[in-house]
Amino acid sequence: MPTVYVIATGGTIASTSSDTGAVPTESVQELVRAYPESFDHVDVELEQVAQTPSSELTIDDLVALGDRVRGIADDVDGVVVLHGTDTIEETAYYLDLVLDVDVPVVLTGAQRPDDSLSPDGPANLRGALTAASHDYVRTGTYVFFNDRLHAARPVTKDHSTNLDAYDSGAYGPIADRTPDGLWFYRRPESLSVTLPVRDITANVELVQTSTDTGGSQIGHAVDRGVDGIVVDALGVGNVPTAVADAIDSAVNDVVVVIATRCRNGVVSPVYGSDGGAAVLEEKGVLFASNLSAHKARIKLLVALSCHSKETVREAFDTGQLSGHGYQ
Task: Label residue 174 exposed, middle or buried (CB < 10 Å: 0-12, 13-18, 19+).
Answer: buried
Q: Specify whether 12 is catalytic.
A: yes
Task: Label residue 110 exposed, middle or buried (CB < 10 Å: 0-12, 13-18, 19+).
Answer: buried
DSSP 274: T
Query: End-to-end alpha-carbon separation of the chain, Å?
Result: 35
CA pair distance 82, 125, nearest whole angstrom: 8
CA pair distance 261, 156, nearest whole angstrom: 13
For residues 267 and 287, is the Cβ–Cβ distance under 8 A? yes
Please spell the DSSP secondary structure of 83-139, one letter per residue: --SSSHHHHHHHHHHH---SS-EEEE--SS-TTSSS-SHHHHHHHHHHHHT-TT--S
Active-site entry in 9, 12, 85, 156: 12
Q: Which of 311, 286, 319, 289 is nearest to 97 (CA)?
A: 319
CA pair distance 97, 272, nearest whole angstrom: 33
By annotation, the residues acting in catalysis are: 12
